[in-house]
């Protein structure tokens, strides 16, 4: 028989114990972890109280960190471990490899200053194969999604201006590109984009007209919510 989830007092006790044992910098985030019972599929999962929910006086800064350079094993692990040691909570991230070059952008939040984050990440740039930047991100109101979510795919012979033409076509039709990936394989150029659009029929017609001028094939279809 699997043990039940810990009681609220036990979780609070865990929060206090971890916070008191951790360094001052790590304390605000140290207790923010998940306690899981043996019956994982039975919903026996309880999240420990976030120390920040109790300590309202502790400032939380948000940063955008970019890492670009020659690809090698362990870059993601190196960056993630440094941010974890700084008690920075990783919220959003995107990572890919472009022609042998690693590219990562992530957003994280926590108590350290931008200078402290930059200093901690600086050793990664010692061999001059990586470029790391850190900038503060101001809190903004959440983007309000209008219309429906669609997947745009384009493929055809590579030529100048494909992305510029099609992205302008989407913008002029009132669409908003939320994610974009391009790949060049030999002479074949492929685009896959996620688009929020209020008038799919108008956008579809405009895209096909632009695709005909470019000599490429284009498809716009509703996104499958289960796959996003």
What is residue 13's predicted lDDT score, i.e. its pLDDT? 41
Out of 3.50.50.60, 3.30.70.260, 3.20.20.70, 3.30.70.3270, which CATH number does the structure's domain 61-136 have? 3.30.70.260
What is residue 161's predicted lDDT score, i.e. its pLDDT? 95
204: closest CA among 225, 173, 226? 173
What is residue 6's predicted lDDT score, i.e. its pLDDT? 45
**CB-CB neighbours of 5 under 10 Å:** 17
Per-residue pLDDT of the chain (228 residues; tens, 9 = 90+): 444 444 444 434 433 433 433 444 444 343 333 333 333 333 322 333 344 444 455 678 999 999 999 999 999 999 999 999 999 999 999 999 888 899 999 999 999 999 999 999 999 999 999 999 999 988 765 656 678 999 999 999 999 999 999 999 999 999 999 999 999 988 999 999 999 999 999 999 999 999 999 999 999 999 985 454
The C-alpha atoms of residue 6 and residue 63 are separated, in whole angstroms, by: 34
Assess contact for 194 and 150: CB atoms under 8 A. Answer: yes
The kind and range of the H/E element at 116 are helix 114-121
Pair of tokens at residue 97: 């490899």
The C-alpha atoms of residue 58 and residue 55 are separated, in whole angstroms, by: 6
Q: Do domains 61-136 and 148-223 have the same CATH topology?
A: yes
The C-alpha atoms of residue 15 and residue 29 are separated, in whole angstroms, by: 9
Residue-range domain boundaries for the chain: 8-54, 61-136, 148-223
What is residue 37's predicted lDDT score, i.e. its pLDDT? 35
Question: Got the DSSP string for 156-218?
Answer: EE--TTHHHHHHHHHHHTT-EEEEEEEEEETTEEEEEEEEEES-HHHHHHHHHHHHHHHTEEE
What is residue 138's predicted lDDT score, i.e. its pLDDT? 81
| CATH fold of 148-223 | Alpha-Beta Plaits (3.30.70)
């Amino acid at each position: 028989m699997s043990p039940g989830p810990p009681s609220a007092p036990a979780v609070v006790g865990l929060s206090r114990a971890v916070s008191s044992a951790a360094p001052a910098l790590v304390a605000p985030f140290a207790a923010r972890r998940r306690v899981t019972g043996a019956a994982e599929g039975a919903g026996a999962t309880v999240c420990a109280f976030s120390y920040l929910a109790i300590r309202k006086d502790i400032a939380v800064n948000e940063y955008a960190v970019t890492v670009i350079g020659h690809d090698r094993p362990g870059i993601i692990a190196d960056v993630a471990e440094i941010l974890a040691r700084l008690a920075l909570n990783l919220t959003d991230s995107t990572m890919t490899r472009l022609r042998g070059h690693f590219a990562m952008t992530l957003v994280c939040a926590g108590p350290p200053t931008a200078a402290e984050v930059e200093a901690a990440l600086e050793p990664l740039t010692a061999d001059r194969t990586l470029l790391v930047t850190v900038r503060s991100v101001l809190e903004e109101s959440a983007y309000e999604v209008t219309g429906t979510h669609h997947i745009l795919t384009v493929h055809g012979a590579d030529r100048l201006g494909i992305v510029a033409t099609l992205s302008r076509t989407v913008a002029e039709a009132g669409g908003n590109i939320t994610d974009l990936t391009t790949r060049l394989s030999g002479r074949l150029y492929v685009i896959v984009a996620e688009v929020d659009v209020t008038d799919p029929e108008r956008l579809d017609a405009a895209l096909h007209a632009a695709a005909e001028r470019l000599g490429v094939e284009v498809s716009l279809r509703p996104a499958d919510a289960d796959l996003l």
